[in-house]
Amino acid sequence: MASNAAKPKRLYQTISSVENAYQQFDRAAKFLDLTPNQIAVIKAPRRVVDLQLPVRMDNGDIRVFQGYLVQHNIGRGPAKGGIRFHPQVSLDEVKALAFWMTYKCAVVNIPMGGAKGAVLCDPKQHTTGEIERISRRYFSDLIELFGPDRNVPAPDVGTNPQIMAWFMDTYSMHKRDFLPAVVTGKPLEVGGSKARLQSTGAGVVHCVRSALQHLGTNVNGCRVAIQGFGNVGSNVAKLLWDQGAKIVAVSDISGAYSNKKGIDISAALEHVQRHRDLSGFEQGGAADKLEDAEQLLHVDTDILIPAALENAITAQNVSGVKARIIAEGANGPITPDADQVLQEKGAFIIPDILCNAGGVTVSYLEWVQNRMGYYWQLERVQAELSTIMHAAFKSVLETAERHDCSLRMAAYICAIRRVTQAAELRGLYA
């Protein structure tokens, strides 16, 4: 079949992520009886920057890239959130992602606000030198908005520790100081934290294990389907596979692959190391390639983990979803109408702002270590992450039981309460 048909579909035109985010907020605000004044202070982003970045390509041509930075809220601490490099990011999407960061930090109770940035570029189409120049130009154009106590970026889709090192270097050279706390997700050699690279996946796994325990079962032999095999999806796959789960399907940009008996995840990881993605993984019988990548959502599985992009599960494809537990590794992977269908079916959905908060949690731990100048052993970082994730899961679950609502609403109730309290305590400056 044509390779295009196997590519994950982007549905920006059919649903706005920021509308999704605001619908979630409005529903939770009703539970909390928030006043219009309270809502006005914490719902919309505080600062939206739209910028054009001229960058010299290797052949001497200058190309101008669209960039964005959205700072949603700084009530509880410096704005925190990743920088995305992707050819199709919209400003709406960046606003939604910044909004989710505010509430993600609040739900795990780390002292950070919310932000997100993006550059519209396709990292696969550029040389290392071009990516470095795009990264440095983005950071230097926004240099006054970033800072260890202002806005602390991190990796997101399409960015990585090397790019964080260039951000940190650009900032440090400009300020004539060594300031590693300006960005997290850095390589270990320049102030990164142990466990940061695996942390989003590890956080998802903590949530999945807590959910299984709550439902009276455990990970051993559980069937799992994972959409997305990037940093989040591949780490979730590896960790759950190591812990005895059966990974029955995985997918990435090249398509979806399934094996009822379970996929050998170390073979899949090796394949990606060698070929960049999973294309050709079906050869040799490791798995069957599904005709359409979207079929991954419909495989017979106990747990479904959308760990790719927003709007993956929609009104159009939700009816075939069979999983009992859905763990949102990605941000905003379920549209509001699909969410309602799944809730009615009784699916146990671990919402994104809780489920994928492990990444920003270890980012916070990295920032703490940078500021102390003292670096922790792997076991300490893992233990702190585990404590924070389990405490957050427990309080969200208790809130859901108390209010008889979904975990998504409960997560927002916990998070919005904290953001509102901070706003009220601080009051208005002028």
Cα separation, 153 vs 156, in Å, equals: 9
- Using alpha carbons, list the distances in angstroms from residue 426 to 146, 276, 419: 22, 48, 11
Cα separation, 310 vs 304, in Å, equals: 15
Site for ligand GLU in 96-155 (CB under 6 A): 104, 154
State which of residues 82, 117, 123, 180 lies at the interface with ligand GLU (CB under 6 A): 82
Tell whether residue 359 is a contact of ligand GLU (CB under 6 A).
Answer: yes
Using a 10 angstrom Cβ sphere, with 0-12 exposed, 13-18 middle and 19 or more buried, the burial of residue 380 is middle
Tell whether residue 210 is a contact of ligand GLU (CB under 6 A).
Answer: no
Tell whether residue 295 is a contact of ligand GLU (CB under 6 A).
Answer: no
Say what the alpha-carbon torsion angle 194, 242, 349, 423 is, to the nearest 10 degrees: -10
Question: Of the two residues 42 and 365, which places its CB atom closer to ligand GLU in the complex?
Answer: 365
Q: Which residues are bridge partners to 288 per DSSP? A: 258
Q: Least separation, in Å, of the C-beta of 156 and ligand GLU?
A: 4
State which of residues 43, 80, 136, 137 lies at the interface with ligand GLU (CB under 6 A): 80
Question: Of the two residues 55 and 79, which places its CB atom closer to ligand GLU in the complex?
Answer: 79
Question: Of the two residues 154 and 323, which places its CB atom closer to ligand GLU in the complex?
Answer: 154
Q: Least separation, in Å, of the C-beta of 361 and ligand GLU?
A: 8
Site for ligand GLU in 166-205 (CB under 6 A): 184
Question: Of the two residues 331 and 406, which places its CB atom closer to ligand GLU in the complex?
Answer: 331
Query: Which range touches ligand GLU (CB under 6 A), out of 80-88, 263-271, 320-328, 390-398?
Result: 80-88
State which of residues 198, 235, 363, 395 lies at the interface with ligand GLU (CB under 6 A): 363
Cα separation, 417 vs 28, in Å, equals: 10
Question: Of the two residues 100 and 348, which places its CB atom closer to ligand GLU in the complex?
Answer: 100
Query: Which range touches ligand GLU (CB under 6 A), out of 76-84, 203-211, 342-350, 421-429?
Result: 76-84
Q: Least separation, in Å, of the C-beta of 389 and ligand GLU?
A: 13
Cα separation, 41 vs 176, in Å, equals: 36
Q: Least separation, in Å, of the C-beta of 166 and ligand GLU?
A: 17
Question: Of the two residues 16 and 331, which places its CB atom closer to ligand GLU in the complex?
Answer: 331
Catalytic residue, from 43, 95, 104, 116: name it. 116
Query: Which range touches ligand GLU (CB under 6 A), out of 66-74, 75-83, 218-226, 253-261?
Result: 75-83
Q: Least separation, in Å, of the C-beta of 95 and ligand GLU?
A: 14
Concerning whether 116 is annotated as a catalytic residue, the answer is: yes
Tell whether residue 71 is a contact of ligand GLU (CB under 6 A).
Answer: no
Sequence length of the chain is 430
Question: Of the two residues 356 and 406, which places its CB atom closer to ligand GLU in the complex?
Answer: 356
Question: Of the two residues 169 and 366, which places its CB atom closer to ligand GLU in the complex?
Answer: 366
Query: Which range touches ligand GLU (CB under 6 A), out of 71-79, 141-149, 296-304, 352-360?
Result: 352-360
State which of residues 132, 156, 252, 302 lies at the interface with ligand GLU (CB under 6 A): 156
Q: Least separation, in Å, of the C-beta of 22 and ligand GLU?
A: 18
Choose among 409, 255, 269: nearest CA to 336.
409
First-to-final CA distance of the chain: 62
Residue 319, amino acid? S
Tell whether residue 360 is a contact of ligand GLU (CB under 6 A).
Answer: yes
Tell whether residue 331 is a contact of ligand GLU (CB under 6 A).
Answer: yes
How would you label 234-267 residue by residue, b for 16+ Cβ within 10 Å and e otherwise? bbbbbbbbeeebbbbbbbbbbbbbbbeeebebee
Catalytic residues, which ones?
Answer: 116
* Contacting residues toward ligand GLU, per CB under 6 A: 80-82, 104, 154, 156, 184, 331, 356, 359-360, 363
